[in-house]
Chain A
């Protein structure tokens, strides 16, 4: 099978990836991190986990605490600067990946040395789905799943990193999956980090609309690429006991 021989031809170097697992996955959804590891290994990637990593600083940054965010950003760059230059950094979150790839620059703009260190790290950062399609060149990872799946575009993956096709191609290639688009699949679910607790009523009103569209789509499974969105959507699905499975793309691909 093509997926098991990636990078294993005689003479070719194995692809190396450091997992930037994100604090949400580490603390609340370790099975998602595990799925990422399994999928990557199945595709012949050497996976490592730099143990010193904690949070990329996004909650502070998004709340306006730029100095605190900068401290964590510096720390992040330090932790991942330890990798060899040919090691990719893979994250199961478009939001956390865009924090590093897009927003760190703003934090470091008055410090050329940090900018330099950042560019060496951020150019190696890939969100999980785009790493599979763009770096490994894989769409069919050999997974199978019996269900009707719809995909929620997480805002930062879609609009900061411009990625919408990669996850869809990966989902559609899973054997047994029937893929359908929900209406307004690119509308925010209402999570928005601290927004979800600063303005809970507005956040939940946005979520209600999202759930209505997912419900109407006829899907039995909702897949996305960010645990922030999935915590939001999943939190209501579980509270209201809706008949929808909510999972991260990595979990689907590991199945």
Chain B
């Protein structure tokens, strides 16, 4: 059985994505909106930085003591009447969940938005087992109809325009071409209502899990997660093992950080606190509650001192919204389940796939992600560590090509020997002559409009500056002599 259907080739797919003008417009408008809403919310929050620092400390503590907290979580949930399952990898998690469904004769499943279920490709597993599964988050519903993957942690259909959705609905649902968002939402609502009522099992993700009380928290805006977790007779929640916050009272700062960073709301429309299945005092709710705790590479991340902080992520999506690379290419270019800066750091750590080690290079290291991260993940530092691991060939012998490695060695040798460096700069000065155009630059400076590969990667769209006839160090010999006179000149 194939454990993944992900195909990662950032170089190729990013090239295709930047050429797509419609995609670019959709991305710019959506990320601009997210950025503005977040900024407004953060500016209106007193002591935002202090809250972030506190959250970071709690996350550090939790991840350092994760075994303790996870056992405690299991204990609390068991006490509340729920069942906890442990999954080493995605395949095991999918098997556990489909087995729960099969054993109970489940024919139809409703699902709320969950990146962890995307990570383990749960829908494929359900379908292989002949179980119908319906996504009930509007964005996810659209994506499922289109047969695509989410392109944003928070807004899975961010790459789709209204026109795309109108066409998709009329094609897949046999409805007229409606243009108004209200009409489209109304259609989805009607369709989904039937699915909710017919479902035997609901699957959700988990935003936070509290060992103290055995509570899982699900944050959403559409009410669909509420229905998924209360209406069907079985509720299965899937969580990455890092999602723990120790105490119930810690939730106040984490909900604050997550929701403001994600959508700029003070609080999302719905926040569900779920502790076990329906109990004797409840009128409704599921008869069974299962929590599946997923490792899938996370314990490997835990072991690395530098990259461990990747596990502090709250999946707010703020880093995607501010990332200038994400803004150009969108989520699908990353080829996996998580995209943007967080995808670039966790995908290579979670999944051993061809092309996945190129993802940490899909960044200009501008640091905008680090600046907005509500738990202060030092993205550039983690990206650089992953690049370094890649170069050292730590990941199953995958390394950059020989030509790149040789070029770096030669470059280093020249930079270590100043006279050689100067000599090469003179060779470069003469070698460039056939390429230098003298027009159009100030300071008598030449420009280079076209160079052979690999420099053509630069010159295709940008002029390259010519190596100076007299480098700074050569000019310095004259400047040095001016020294004594300089003040008289003023």
Contacts and interface: CB of A to CB of B under 8 A. Distances in A.
Interface residues of B, number: 78
Contact of B468 (A30, A61, A72, A205): A30
A159 B364 contact: no
Contact of B391 (A65, A71, A196): A65
Contacts of B15: 201
B397 interface: no
Interface stretch (B146-154, B310-318, B458-466): B458-466
A200 B386 CA distance: 21
Contacts of B365: 62, 155, 192-193, 195
B416 A71 contact: yes
Interface string B398-425: 0010001000110110111010010001
Given A60-B408, A68-B409, A197-B458, A42 B364 contact: no
Interface residues of A, number: 75
A61 to B, nearest CB: 7
B364 A206 contact: yes
Contacts of A202: 14, 18, 325, 328-329, 362
A71 B411 CA distance: 12
B324 interface: yes
A216 interface: no
A199 B458 contact: no
Given A75-B416, A155-B367, A197 B454 contact: yes
A44 B461 contact: no
A30 B364 contact: no
B208 to A, nearest CB: 29
Contacts, number: 207
Interface string B2-24: 00000000110011001100001
B381 interface: yes
A196 B487 contact: no
Nearest to B364: A192
Nearest to A51: B473
A54 B467 contact: no
B457 interface: yes
B480 interface: yes
A27 B467 contact: yes
Given A72-B412, A238-B463, A206 B468 contact: no
Summarize A's interface: helix, strand, loop or mixed.
Answer: helix
Given A30-B472, A199-B361, A68 B412 contact: yes
A231 B465 CA distance: 7
Summarize B's interface: helix, strand, loop or mixed.
Answer: helix
Contacts of A218: none
Contact of A235 (B425, B462, B490): B462
B366 A188 contact: yes
Interface in B359-376: 360-368, 370-371
Interchain residue pairs A-B with the least CB separation, the first 8: A192-B364, A64-B387, A235-B462, A188-B366, A159-B367, A64-B391, A155-B366, A30-B472
Interface of B: 10-11, 14-15, 18-19, 24, 324-325, 327-329, 360-368, 370-371, 381, 384, 386-392, 400, 404, 408-409, 411-412, 414-416, 418, 421, 425, 428, 440-443, 445, 447, 449, 454-455, 457-458, 460-468, 470-476, 479-480, 483, 486-487, 490
21 contacts: A26-B471, A29-B465, A37-B479, A49-B473, A49-B476, A55-B415, A60-B408, A60-B411, A65-B388, A65-B408, A103-B384, A159-B366, A186-B368, A188-B368, A192-B363, A192-B366, A198-B361, A199-B362, A205-B329, A209-B324, A236-B461
Interface of A: 1, 4, 21, 23, 25-31, 33-34, 37-38, 41-42, 44, 46-47, 49, 51-55, 57, 59-66, 68, 71-72, 75, 103, 106, 155-156, 159-160, 186-188, 190-193, 195-207, 209, 231-232, 234-236, 238-239, 241, 245
Given A195-B365, A209-B328, 13 more contacts: A30-B468, A34-B479, A64-B390, A65-B388, A75-B415, A155-B365, A159-B371, A188-B324, A192-B363, A196-B364, A199-B14, A199-B325, A205-B329
